[in-house]
């Protein structure tokens, strides 16, 4: 059940907490799922609220770069698919907010933190979508990388998060395939179309690799998350898996990875050249190409919708009052 009311933080002595904490870890080690009304360490709850709400914000902000192309999609088929995809992203954001709320955070607090610029979302959505080929690359690579990250989350120790991810992963598979289809069509088209596809790949490749987060030596959240089975693979492991899956797909398209140092090692893994982590830090710090635009667009949408929320709340209240009055008669 997804309620907030059951999640009042419990207070207890430290000795009692240590017993509960070891019992909790034993449940995790036994691959049991933790449900909202079970006892959990405060740090576990905090880590999950942070991660799930960031994930939800990413889905919501992620509608913007693609929404930008809905009115300019090259055919009705592409437009219908893109519209459905953007609707899915919205749905994914809402499943995830609901999962975060089971931990005692309120939807309104989470949304307000994002609008205030206090909460993070995925760095990738701070890059612009300059051509139609970007929509292909986003589906193929951005959603591809997201799926790579999300499949292990379907087995995350926290039940509501794992269940939300199962739903999300089922729906994401269409996103990646429609993106690859766009790329394939462009690559089989005119020389200009193929060049457009290559140019989009050049711009997105490195930011996509950054989606997996900092290299393992530098990641600040991994240790506890691994112990709690929130995270099941390291950033570098997932990044490598993604690259190994993607390189043959690019070869099939006849595109070149924009990494002169990329080569296949003896085990068959495709090894990438150095990633510019300074760019990643800058984008997270708010200095990416579109950070300000994205936040401004979210704030405008939220402000423009205020009268709808107000009207709906006023109407619900009026009806409730009327029902009370009728019941009293």
Partner 1 sequence: MATPNTPLWEVFIRSRNGLAHKHCGSLHAPDATMALQAARDLYTRRGEGLSIWVVPSSAITASDPADKGMMFEPAESKIYRHPTFYEVPEEVGHM
Interacting residues with partner 1 (CB under 8 A): 1-6, 35, 37-38, 84, 87-88, 91, 94-95, 98, 101, 106-108, 111-112, 164, 171, 302, 309, 312-313, 315-316, 319-320
> From its phi and psi, is residue 275 left (phi > 0), alpha (psi between -120 and 50) or beta?
beta
| Min separation Cβ 205 and partner 1, Å | 31
* Residue 112 half-sphere exposure toward CB, CA atoms < 13 A: 5
Spatial distance between the Cα atoms of 66 and 153, rounded to a whole number of angstroms: 25
Residue (155 or 309) nearer to partner 1, CB: 309
Burial track 32-51 (b if 16+ CB lie within 10 A, e otherwise): ebbebeeebeeebbebbbeb
| Min separation Cβ 228 and partner 1, Å | 18
| Min separation Cβ 76 and partner 1, Å | 19
- Do residues 169 and 151 lie in contact, with contact meaning Cβ atoms separated by under 8 Å? yes
Closest CA relative to residue 225, chosen from 124, 152, 285, 293: 152
- Do residues 94 and 74 lie in contact, with contact meaning Cβ atoms separated by under 8 Å? no
Residue (100 or 210) nearer to partner 1, CB: 100
| Min separation Cβ 253 and partner 1, Å | 28
| Min separation Cβ 143 and partner 1, Å | 17
Owner of token pair 């292909």: 136
Owner of token pair 């059940």: 1
Residue (6 or 130) nearer to partner 1, CB: 6
| Min separation Cβ 97 and partner 1, Å | 9
Residue (41 or 91) nearer to partner 1, CB: 91
Closest CA relative to residue 145, chosen from 249, 225, 69: 249
Closest CA relative to residue 102, chosen from 230, 2, 8: 2
Residue (273 or 305) nearer to partner 1, CB: 305
Spatial distance between the Cα atoms of 163 and 158, rounded to a whole number of angstroms: 9
Residue (103 or 137) nearer to partner 1, CB: 103
| Min separation Cβ 304 and partner 1, Å | 14
Spatial distance between the Cα atoms of 206 and 211, rounded to a whole number of angstroms: 9
| Min separation Cβ 37 and partner 1, Å | 5
Residue (101 or 259) nearer to partner 1, CB: 101
Give 57: exposed, middle or buried? Use CB within 10 Å, 0-12, 13-18, 19+.
buried
Residue (16 or 112) nearer to partner 1, CB: 112
């Amino acid at each position: 059940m997804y309620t907030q009311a059951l999640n009042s933080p419990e207070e207890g002595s430290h000795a009692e907490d240590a017993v509960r904490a070891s019992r909790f870890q034993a449940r995790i080690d036994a691959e049991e799922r933790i449900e909202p009304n079970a006892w959990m360490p405060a740090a576990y709850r905090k880590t999950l609220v942070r991660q799930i709400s960031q994930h939800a914000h990413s889905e919501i902000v992620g509608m913007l770069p693609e929404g930008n192309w809905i009115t300019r999609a090259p055919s009705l088929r592409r437009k219908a698919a893109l519209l459905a995809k953007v609707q899915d992203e919205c749905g994914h954001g809402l499943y995830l907010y609901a999962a975060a709320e089971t931990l005692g955070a309120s939807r309104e607090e989470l949304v307000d933190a994002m609008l205030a610029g206090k909460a993070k979302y995925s760095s990738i959505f701070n890059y612009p979508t300059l051509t139609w080929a970007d929509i292909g690359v986003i589906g193929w690579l951005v959603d591809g990388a997201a799926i790579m990250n999300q499949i292990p989350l379907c087995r995350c120790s926290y039940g509501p998060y794992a269940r939300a991810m199962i739903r999300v992963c089922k729906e994401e598979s269409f996103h990646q395939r429609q993106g690859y289809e766009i790329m394939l069509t462009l690559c089989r088209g005119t020389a200009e179309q193929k060049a457009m596809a290559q140019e989009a790949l050049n711009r997105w490749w490195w930011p996509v690799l950054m989606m997996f987060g900092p290299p393992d030596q530098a990641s600040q959240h991994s240790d506890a998350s691994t112990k709690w089975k929130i995270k099941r693979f390291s950033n570098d492991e997932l990044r490598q898996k993604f690259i190994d899956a993607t390189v043959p797909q690019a070869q099939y398209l006849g595109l070149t990875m924009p990494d002169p140092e990329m080569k296949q090692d003896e085990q068959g893994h495709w090894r990438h050249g150095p990633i510019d982590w300074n760019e990643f830090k800058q984008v997270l710090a708010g200095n990416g190409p579109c950070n300000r635009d994205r936040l401004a667009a979210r704030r405008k949408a939220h402000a423009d919708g205020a009268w709808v929320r107000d009207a709906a709340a006023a109407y619900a209240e009026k009806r409730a009052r009327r029902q009370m009055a009728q019941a009293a008669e």
